């Protein structure tokens, strides 16, 4: 089942109007959630889990038991923030066109950790990296967390940026005359400069994860 189909199963025979009213959502919003036309936000999903005693792992992934009482060692979702993974990819190479920013799913991170390192949970997105220009620091297929609340450039830090209709992950360094140097960690890629007003800062990369086995 899809996430929308699992929401529909939770709603059961309750009307979309009555179901939505519990969470401040219109019937049309519930309809879009259930059909997959729009992804529900994390606050809505947590409210549904609390209201119906739903196992959040089951709701997000379909794995495990539907209800909290039916599963052992269920994580207390109140201790976690759900950070969205978006479909757009960050290029660590020649650049990748932004083809979508739809939500694919959510990653759970402890609230206390998020508050220590990030601007706030609503400023966070997860994105997948393609290309090798940031090797060895960040490699192809790594997943990075981008803090969209951190747009001020700090010398030598890594940022997700949009430049020339592409999005990419690079180190940034100030240069005279209002220029920014765009730097790859892979020495096979040459650094280049751009006017600061031509660069859109998506956010600072503050965390990454890597799968060490072949899927």
pLDDT tens, position by position, 129-170: 988 999 999 998 899 999 999 999 999 999 999 888 788 999
> CB under 8 Å to 187, separation ≥6 — which residues?
none
Top CATH class of 3-75 equals mainly alpha
- The four Cα atoms 103, 107, 109, 115 give a dihedral, to 10 degrees, of -20
**CATH fold of 80-209, please?**
Umud Fragment, subunit A (2.10.109)
Query: What six digits make up the tokens of 66?
Result: 């539907």
Domain boundaries, given as residue ranges, for the chain = 3-75, 80-209
d(CA 166, CA 91): 8
d(CA 142, CA 139): 6
d(CA 210, CA 183): 22
Q: What is the mean pLDDT of residues 95-114?
A: 71
Lowest mean pLDDT among 98-107, 120-129, 196-205: 98-107
Query: What is the reported pTM?
Result: 0.63
Condensed to tens digits (0 to 9), the pLDDT of residues 1-38 reads 899 999 999 999 999 999 999 999 999 999 999 998 88
Contact 190, 181 (CB under 8 A): no
In which residue are the tokens 């660590």 written? 92
Contact 87, 104 (CB under 8 A): yes
State the DSSP H helix or E strand holding residue 153, giving kind and residue range, or none if neither.
Answer: none
188, HSE (Cβ side, Cα atoms, 13 Å) = 9
């Amino acid at each position: 089942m899809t996430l929308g189909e699992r929401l529909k199963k939770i709603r059961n025979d309750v009307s979309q109007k009555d179901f939505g009213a519990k969470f401040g959502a219109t019937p049309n919003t519930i309809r879009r959630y259930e059909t997959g036309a729009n992804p529900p936000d994390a606050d809505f999903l947590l409210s549904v889990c609390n209201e119906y005693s739903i196992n959040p792992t089951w709701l997000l992934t379909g794995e495990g038991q539907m209800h909290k009482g039916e599963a052992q060692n269920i994580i207390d979702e109140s201790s976690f923030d759900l950070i969205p993974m978006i479909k757009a990819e960050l290029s660590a190479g020649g650049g990748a066109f932004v083809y979508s920013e739809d939500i694919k799913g959510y990653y759970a991170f402890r609230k206390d950790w998020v508050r220590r390192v990030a601007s706030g949970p609503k400023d966070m997105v997860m994105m997948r990296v393609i290309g090798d220009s940031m090797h060895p620091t960040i490699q192809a297929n790594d997943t990075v967390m981008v803090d969209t609340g951190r747009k001020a450039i700090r010398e030598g830090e890594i940022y997700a940026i949009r430049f020339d209709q592409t999005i990419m992950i690079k180190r940034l360094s100030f240069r005279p005359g209002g220029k920014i140097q765009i730097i790859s960690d892979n020495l096979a890629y040459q650094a280049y400069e751009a006017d600061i007003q031509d660069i859109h800062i998506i956010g600072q990369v503050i965390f990454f994860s890597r799968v060490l086995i072949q899927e």
